[in-house]
Amino acid sequence: MGNLDLVTIIIIAANVIITYKGFGDYSFFEKYKFNVGAVKRGEQIRLISSGFLHADTQHLLFNMLSLYFFADLVIRLLSPVQFLLIYFGSLLLGNLLSLYFHKNEYHYSAVGASGAVTGIIYAAILLQPGMSLMFFFIPVPIPAYVFGIGYLLYSMYGMKKRVGNIGHDAHFGGAIGGYIITLFLAPWLFETSLPMIGLLAIPIVLLFVLKKMGKI
């Protein structure tokens, strides 16, 4: 993992250019960030444009590094076009889930590629469920599916407790996007990875059950 395909370079470059434009131009940032009230007034472009803006350099760097490590696997096992479908579909679904959860909070705003990147990470986990992930703060490899399920459970906790200034619902929506779109594009996974598909579906089903029960 970690090789840069042309399409990955273009996505990263677009994020960097648009993010730094936003850093230096407050009106540009305000015009294109995700905002519930603005989207409800018809400014749907924000559902996509907000994914190319970031709160600060650290936020941008974290998202682009995560994309760098997982993009090549998805492109190699599917195709550049299918990678883009997952990326933009996850970005859109992440913001739509945010809109659903915050529909009555007209001032709610968010920025970042996290939903899109989370979708790519989930696509990679589905396509290569046996891979292990290494983190600086954990000295042993973690199976990718354990990370995926754990991340979604943490996102649910973050949504319930409003942990940090983080769009946990956009992360969750992006993961759902990556999950659904990848299965649509690669139906052979139902033959090769059915137990893993079921396992990764558990936190997604749990989210909507808890939402219906009023727990989130």
Q: For the chain of 216 residues, list the mean pLDDT of each consecutive stretch of 10.
A: 79 98 96 96 97 93 90 95 98 95 92 93 90 72 83 77 67 92 96 91 86 76
Question: What pLDDT score was predicted for residue 214?
Answer: 76
CA–CA distance, 35 with 105 (Å, rounded to integer) = 9
Predicted TM-score (pTM) above 0.75: yes
H or E element at residue 211: helix 194-212
CA distance 69 to 78: 16
Give residue-wise pLDDT tens across range 113-141.
989 999 999 999 999 988 887 766 667 78
Q: Which CATH class is domain 6-212?
A: mainly alpha
CA dihedral 102, 106, 112, 115 (to 10 degrees): 20
Give burial (CB, 10 Å; 0-12/13-18/19+) of 132. exposed
